[in-house]
Amino acid sequence: FTVTISDLLYRVIFLSDRCSNTVNKIQNIEEGSVTISCPYDSESVDKLKFLCRGNRPSTCRQQAVITSSNTQNGRFRLSDDRKSRIFTVTISSLTLKDSGSYLCGVQRNSGFDVFSAVELKVKDFCLKSYHISGIEGRPVTLQCPNSGQQLDNKKFLCKGDQHNNCTDMMENQTKFKLLNVSSTCFSVIITELEAADAGTYYCGSDSQLRFIKIQLAVETWKLPSFMAKVSGFCLSKRADHLVLVAVWYGQIPGAKRLEMRFHRHL
């Protein structure tokens, strides 16, 4: 998102170490990115722009983390829209250490640089997660959070170890089906599980704050070893239900014959 700092320009007459009484406050989460927008006047179009940490104008330009003469510095990128007279600084891959005070500065030939103040707060990223298991060949339902703003916003389900580097699974609409969309959540059904479907998934809406981590395990259904030898079965209809009787010989101690009945109401 973009935060615009408006009407915060002021002149530092004696380069004293003070800052504007009005500070623009912005916040984001770890691993995200934030864009700081700083306006300037028509006299500053061709001047040097810069961003520094802290609130000391007297040393800001010398300690700048990014300038318009070097627009890329690690996680910091500066862009200058001269028509709108706004320069922006984007900080990517945010960490908690990025929290704090910043100054946007514009160099002036008079020696009196112009500054605007920003306070950035980076929140600790706490990702919710859950584990789910399914049986090979059968469907499984994944529950995902929705942003709650619009029902028609983009939903995603991707598979991979990292939420910002995973494979989109919603392109396969035959196997992965979206349903039960509400303002708070939606469901994705994997129609026929395969062993290769096991792994880590991330799903949510198009908001970077609304997604969840899912660990999916796929189990193979096997007939218990004591049921290995079925001697016979019969199917009969009784009133309002069917009865399937299966008889097998197995390895249960002390038992030579085992019978199990399965009832299904019509």
Q: Walk along the chain (266 residues) and give the pLDDT tens digit of each residue.
A: 333 333 333 323 222 333 344 456 566 555 678 899 999 999 899 999 999 999 999 899 999 999 999 999 999 999 999 999 999 999 988 888 899 999 999 998 776 788 999 999 887 655 688 999 999 999 999 998 886 655 667 888 999 988 878 999 988 878 999 888 877 788 999 999 999 999 999 988 865 556 889 999 999 876 555 555 555 656 666 666 666 666 555 555 554 455 555 555 55
Q: Which residue has the tokens 């494979």?
A: 167
CATH top class, domain 129-219:
mainly beta
Measured CA to CA, the distance from residue 69 to residue 80 in angstroms comes to 11
Whether 90 contacts 2, CB under 8 Å: no
| CA distances (Å), origin 191, targets 17, 114, 150, 172, 213 | 64, 61, 26, 11, 20
Domain segments of the chain: what residues? 2-123, 129-219, 225-265
Give the span between the Cα atoms of 168 and 157, in whole angstroms.
6
CATH fold for domain 2-123: Immunoglobulin-like (2.60.40)
* The model's pTM: 0.46
